[in-house]
Amino acid sequence: YHNNIDKEAGEVLYQRFVDHVKYSDLAGALHYVYIPVFVAREMAAGFHTLKVSFDESSTNGHTLFIKRQNVKNDPKNDYTLFVVNLPPYCGKIGLENIFSECGEIKSILIKDQPGPDEAEKTDIIKWLNKEKYIFKVAYILFKETESVETALEMSSAVVRYMSTESRPILSGIKKWIHEYKNRYPNESTMQLIIDTYMKDFDQNNIKKKDNNEPNDEGWTTIPVKKSASTEKPKITRKMKKKEKKERIEKELMNFYVFQQREIKRDQIAELRRKFEEDKKRIAMLRQQRKFKPF
């Protein structure tokens, strides 16, 4: 190791370099060759290192970095172990094998990068999304707080194995066969998931409408309440009778031919009368018009 790099920081630097070379990521490997000294120390600060290997026959090791979760206002901090630099071939079974001696594990959450908990994806979404073969992080939730302390006190010199005889991790052709069989979900399973989802979706929509809550698109359904009629029955009947009488008289007004002729004649006479009045008015205005230049 370099004189300015302590042993733990040097191990972090070297292990990251080996991992990137192992997965043919030369650009990432060169990044750790030229990384400054203070960055290497910062990577190791606050973390406890664990040496792990795939199984007893593996010659190459790997280093995990663990510490207690420190999320603001999270009551699970005392029960959760935060794991960094998790290889893609180490899943929940591998983590359970490594930390089995620490205590009972309630749940394990593996993510591509640190961050807040997101809504759990449905099984259909999990099947559609391809798994990313990258180094990940994990959140291990223990039943007791003492389990986290036990994990942080585990010796860094002892190599622990991800795959054991009692609980092996599939690899090679067995893993490929398993992934091929599970590429697509079973039809009955998918139908059950779809029916359950649609049932919950319909129930939520009905609940939102009853409570006048906005739907997923932001629209709010406002019920229309019809007001009761305030008119008295006698008045309503009189009005209907009067309207009926007026409608009958209007229909019979232009029923006969002579009635139509009389109406047209009266209309023409009215137009001629208005025309004569307009002519007289224009002639009077012309007589009153005088030219006054000054």
Instruction: Indicate if 27 and 131 belong to the same structural domain.
Output: yes
Residue 190 falls inside a structural domain: no
Instruction: Indicate if 260 and 170 belong to the same structural domain.
Output: no
Instruction: Indicate if 169 and 26 belong to the same structural domain.
Output: yes
Instruction: Indicate if 141 and 247 belong to the same structural domain.
Output: no
Instruction: Indicate if 120 and 8 belong to the same structural domain.
Output: yes
Which of 142, 162, 183 represents a domain boundary (last residue)? Answer: 183
Taking the model in full, what pTM does it have? 0.51
Residue 229 falls inside a structural domain: no
Kindly list the averaged pLDDT for each block of 10 residues, start to end, along the chain of length 294.
48 62 52 45 68 87 88 86 89 91 91 72 59 84 92 89 89 84 78 88 78 68 61 67 77 70 89 92 83 55
Instruction: Indicate if 27 and 161 belong to the same structural domain.
Output: yes
pLDDT of residue 39: 41
Cα(79)–Cα(143) distance, integer angstroms = 7
Residue 231 falls inside a structural domain: no
pLDDT of residue 113: 83
Residue 196 falls inside a structural domain: no
Cα(292)–Cα(294) distance, integer angstroms = 6
pLDDT of residue 228: 54
CATH code, domain with 127: 3.30.70.330
Instruction: Indicate if 27 and 122 belong to the same structural domain.
Output: yes
Which of 183, 212, 247 represents a domain boundary (last residue)? Answer: 183
Residue 52 falls inside a structural domain: yes
Provide DSSP, 258-294. Answer: HHHHHHHHHHHHHHHHHHHHHHHHHHHHHHH------
Residue 244 falls inside a structural domain: yes
Residue 201 falls inside a structural domain: no
Instruction: Indicate if 19 and 165 belong to the same structural domain.
Output: yes
DSSP reduced 3-state for 154: coil
Instruction: Indicate if 173 and 38 belong to the same structural domain.
Output: yes
pLDDT of residue 274: 93
Instruction: Indicate if 108 and 45 belong to the same structural domain.
Output: yes
Which amino acid is residue 14, in one-letter code?
Y
Residue found under tokens 């007004």: 253
Instruction: Indicate if 55 and 150 belong to the same structural domain.
Output: yes
Instruction: Indicate if 246 and 178 belong to the same structural domain.
Output: no
pLDDT of residue 273: 92
- Domain count of the fold of the chain: 2
Residue 221 falls inside a structural domain: no
pLDDT of residue 105: 92
Output phi, psi for 275, to 5 deg.
Answer: -65, -40
Structure tokens at 286: 């012309």
User: Residue 68 belongs to what domain range?
Assistant: 3-183
